[in-house]
Chain A
Amino acid sequence: MVERRPLTSLLTHFVLVLGVIAIALPIWITFVAATHDQYRMNQVPLPLWPGTHLWDNLSQTLFGAGLSGTEGAPVWLMLFNSLAMALMISLGKIAISLLSAFAIVYFRFPFRMTCFWMIFITLMLPVEVRILPTFEVVANLGMLNSYWGLSIPLIASATATFMFRQVFLTVPDEMLESARIDGAGPMRFFWDILLPLSRTNIAALFVILFIFGWNQYLWPLLITTDTSMTTIVMSIKQMLEAAEQSPQWNIIMTTALLAMIPPIFVVISMQKLFVQGLTETDK
């Protein structure tokens, strides 16, 4: 900001505070709901301050059968399923796209441009578009109700390959030549030089992909029928639907609260690298 007149600064603060309230209030209400018992949550007015039932709710949600009166899996298992799916998607995508970008940028092989365009075309085919054929393939491979089925169809994607291609193109040619003179073979160059140079980009991509994987809803819903394979994002929706009696808001909100923690943890722990990636110019 160049101008610093009191009025404009008042206005900017006002807008910022509004924004914070818009984001923070629903989270606060979720937290408050997770600290009361079922009966308090069904009386109006809804509480605005925390109650005393957080631990009860947490232990019932995490280790009990979730909602009383249903046969859901305990939430810790769903958290684990979601975590496994999100990690497999993000790490799998990063590994595959790093290698394919490496191949496209640094190797001259027959049909290189054909490969490039084939990868490019898949940009136009996200899971939602190819969901039926993909389901059939996964079903035929016997991967329904498995972690492989949850993650592999989502791993194939072009965006990350493109991003790494751009990153690799910014690495000066002399770096490769220097490594060749030093006697580093292609894979050694990849490990010792290319990977460390891309580490901030890898971190940024990991954050984005982890959240993308964690938030998957449609695909897991389609291919898991076994309750022990339910993911947490699916289960929140199911809990709402399963509420034939009065909804147990305390449990649902505790689940929602738990579902938020891993993405927040990932964002916070990667923040430093993230910012470095934005400010670092040396390559």
Chain B
Amino acid sequence: MAEIKLTDLTKSYGPTEVLHHVEGEIKDGEFIVIVGPSGCGKSTLLRMVAGLETVTSGEIAIAGRRVNELEPSARDIAMVFQNYALYPHMSVRENMAYGLKIRKLSKAEINKRVEEAADILEIRQYLDRKPRQLSGGQRQRVAMGRAIVRDPQVFLFDEPLSNLDAKLRVQMRLEIRKLQQRLGVTSIYVTHDQVEAMTLGDRLMVLNGGYVEQFGTPIELYDRPASVFVAGFIGSPAMNFIPAMVEGDTMVLSTQAKLPAISSYRGAALLGIRPEHLTPDENGPIAIDVDMVEQLGANTLLHGKLNGSDHEMVASVPGHVSTETGAQHRFSVASELLHLFDPATEKRLEA
């Protein structure tokens, strides 16, 4: 059991800095998801915690102990790789036992741990098979088994589900979560999939271009996104953004539509509205010229342009809505569900 502390962590490859001053504290037993678009530095950060990449500057501490200079095997961690990285010439049992054998545990102890892990993951009947005789999902379980038998202080996952098909991914996602809750091991999980991130994480660290945009619970990220990037990244379909001007106590959209001002801020701003927060309202201030309809069953997505402008908008309306293209729909939004961002810094403007 361990907490992890990242202090002013920076990583450079030659002259290019790919991670900038990352800070974060992870509590004992927490499940943290690092999420962000491809190439933003998620794997690099995870691999620095694992000890597979050197730290350019800053400090990583696990359970209060600085680990910057420690070999991966000395950090008491276990890692699950995207391509599983099972040893192809060893049986499942040997794969899981390899690290324990190196640590010179007794045969009996190794067998006990391997079989316990195999029971948890329901892979006991595959123990004598080679990895190539297993399906993708089974290999995934073996990779997790290899992590579990080590009984580490920290689990690290690097996009462990991205090689699986969609259905299996959802199933394994739940299993990973249940397993982590049962074992109570501090975990860091990397993914580019925001749905996976929202369902798995106690807290999410959103990375963009090597910067931490926001670090908080899924609900915090959804309710109070700290930047335009987080607002657009978290939630599906993505948030609508409309340029606006706050003058006096009204907020004037670029289309001259007016909403009441929601904060003390005055000046140019970027207004964010989630599609699911647009409620149909005959007299609402926001008019959308619908040009495409997506029927999802439980709700309907109306795609179109903000009346009198070129801004793409999406509204998510509960139930079935039938409409022809070109029709105008009007919506209103509760003012506590509006988000305001500074158009220059793209940071959230607080009330």
Contacts and interface: CB of A to CB of B under 8 A. Distances in A.
B78 interface: yes
B28 to A, nearest CB: 21
Contact of B103 (A177, A180, A183, A282): A183
Contacts of A199: 89
B33 interface: no
Nearest to B100: A182
Interface in B69-107: 71-73, 77-79, 81, 83, 85, 87-89, 98-99, 102-103
Contact of A172 (B85, B89, B98, B102): B85
B85 A180 contact: no
Contacts of B71: 180
Contacts of B81: 174, 177-178
A102 B85 CA distance: 19
A26 to B, nearest CB: 41
B50 interface: yes
A2 interface: no
B132 interface: yes
Given A182-B99, A184-B102, A172 B78 contact: no
B168 interface: no
A193 interface: yes
A184 B103 CA distance: 9
A174 B103 contact: no
A23 interface: no
A176 to B, nearest CB: 9
B72 A181 contact: yes
Contacts of A184: 73, 98, 102
Nearest to A180: B72
Given A184-B102, A282-B132, A177 B87 contact: no
A273 B301 CA distance: 59
B73 A180 contact: yes
Interface in A161-197: 172, 174-175, 177-178, 180-184, 188, 192-193, 196-197
A4 interface: no
A5 interface: no
A143 B79 CA distance: 53
B52 interface: yes
B102 to A, nearest CB: 4
Contacts of B99: 181-183
Interface in B30-65: 50-52
* Dominant secondary structure of chain A at its interface with chain B: helix
B89 A196 contact: yes
B14 to A, nearest CB: 15
Contact of B83 (A174, A183, A193): A174
Nearest to B156: A181
Given A174-B85, A175-B85, A283-B88, A182 B52 contact: no
Interface string A187-212: 01000110011010000000000000
Nearest to B75: A181
Most buried by B among A177, A180, A181, A282: A181
A192 B88 CA distance: 11
Interface in B93-146: 98-99, 102-103, 131-132
A178 B158 CA distance: 12
Given A174-B81, A177-B81, A182 B73 contact: yes
B83 A172 contact: yes
Contacts of A282: 88, 131-132
B150 to A, nearest CB: 8
A181 B71 CA distance: 8
A182 B79 CA distance: 10
A175 B83 CA distance: 10
Contacts of A197: 88-89
A183 B73 contact: yes
A172 B131 CA distance: 15
Contacts of A181: 50-52, 72-73, 77-79, 99
Contact of A180 (B52, B98, B131): B52
Contact of A177 (B52, B78, B102): B52
Nearest to A181: B72
A282 B79 CA distance: 21
B83 A182 contact: no
A174 B139 CA distance: 15
B351 to A, nearest CB: 47
A177 B73 CA distance: 10
A48 B200 CA distance: 81
A181 B72 CA distance: 5
A200 to B, nearest CB: 11
Contact of B102 (A174, A175, A188): A188
A174 B80 CA distance: 10
Contacts of B79: 177-178, 181
7 contacts: A177-B52, A177-B72, A177-B81, A180-B72, A181-B50, A182-B99, A282-B132
Given A184-B98, A184-B102, A197-B89, 18 more contacts: A172-B83, A175-B85, A175-B87, A177-B52, A178-B79, A178-B87, A180-B52, A180-B71, A180-B73, A181-B50, A181-B77, A181-B79, A182-B99, A182-B102, A183-B102, A183-B103, A197-B88, A199-B89
Interface of A: 172, 174-175, 177-178, 180-184, 188, 192-193, 196-197, 199, 282-283
